[in-house]
C-alpha cells in the first residue's frame, strides 16, 4: 500500500513538474500573444493596444533578444511609442531595432531615421549622427540617404536649427559665387 501511495505521489509530482511549470519566456509570451493581432499585421491598431504596451514589448525583447519575433516586437514598440508621442522611447526602441537586428532589412532605414530624428530633436547629437551616418552610408543612392548626409554635415558644422542651416547655405552660396 505504501509503495502504491508513494508511486501515485511521485507520478503526480512528475506530471505537475513536466506539464504544470511554465518557463519565463512562456509566461512572457502569454502576456503579449493575445495582442499580436493588433500589431503584427500590415496595419498596426494603436488604439487597440493598452497604454504602456510598447514598454512591455521592449522589456520582452531586452530579455529575450533571440526569440523569433523579437525584431518585430521591438519595431512595433518603436512605432507605438512614436504614435503615442513618446519620442525618447521611440528613439531608443528604433535604435535597438537597428543595432540588434541588422539583418532585418524591412524597417531598417525607417527605424534608423526615427532614431536619428528624435535623438537630434532631444539634442543628443552624437547619437543622431550615428544613425544619420548609417543611413547615408547604407542608403547613399536613396534621397533619404542624401538628406541624412546633408543633416550630418550640418550638425557637424554646428548648424542645428533651420535658421542656422539657412544662414550657412547663404554663406556657402555667397562664397561660391565670389569664386566665379
Span 80-116, pLDDT tens digits: 999 999 999 999 999 999 999 999 999 999 999 999 9
Half-sphere exposure of 170 (CA within 13 A, CB side): 6
User: What 3-state class would DSSP assign to 156?
Assistant: helix
Q: How far apart are CA 45 and CA 16, in angstroms?
A: 38
Whether 27 shows a pLDDT value over 90: the answer reads yes
Q: How far apart are CA 174 and CA 87, in angstroms?
A: 37
Give the whole-number percent of the chain exceeding pLDDT 70: 88
- Residue 124: pLDDT band by 50, 70, 90 thresholds? very high
Query: Is 71 exposed, middle or buried (CB count within 10 Å of its CB: 0-12, 13-18, 19+)?
Result: buried
CB atoms within 10 A of CB 36: 14
The domain ranges of the chain are: 24-179
Classify domain 24-179 at the CATH topology level: 1.25.40
User: What 3-state class would DSSP assign to 61?
Assistant: helix
pTM for the whole structure: 0.81
Q: Are 79 and 62 in contact (CB under 8 A)?
A: no
| Grid coordinates belonging to 141 | 543612392
Would you state the pLDDT for residue 17? 47
Amino acid at each position: 500500500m505504501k509503495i502504491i501511495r508513494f508511486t501515485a505521489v511521485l507520478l503526480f509530482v512528475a506530471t505537475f513538474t513536466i506539464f504544470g511549470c511554465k518557463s519565463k519566456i512562456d509566461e512572457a509570451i502569454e502576456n503579449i500573444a493575445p495582442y499580436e493581432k493588433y500589431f503584427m499585421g500590415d496595419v498596426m491598431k494603436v488604439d487597440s493596444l493598452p497604454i504602456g504596451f510598447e514598454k512591455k514589448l521592449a522589456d520582452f525583447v531586452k530579455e529575450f533578444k533571440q526569440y523569433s519575433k523579437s525584431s518585430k516586437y521591438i519595431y512595433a514598440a518603436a512605432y507605438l511609442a512614436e504614435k503615442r508621442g513618446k519620442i525618447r522611447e521611440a528613439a531608443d526602441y528604433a535604435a535597438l531595432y537597428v543595432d540588434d537586428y541588422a539583418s532585418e532589412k524591412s524597417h531598417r532605414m525607417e527605424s534608423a531615421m526615427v532614431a536619428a530624428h528624435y535623438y537630434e530633436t532631444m539634442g543628443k547629437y552624437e547619437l543622431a549622427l550615428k544613425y544619420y551616418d548609417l543611413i547615408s552610408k547604407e542608403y547613399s543612392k536613396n534621397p533619404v540617404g542624401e538628406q541624412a548626409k546633408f543633416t550630418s554635415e550640418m550638425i557637424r558644422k554646428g548648424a542645428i536649427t533651420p535658421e542656422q542651416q539657412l544662414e550657412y547655405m547663404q554663406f556657402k552660396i555667397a562664397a561660391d559665387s565670389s569664386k566665379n
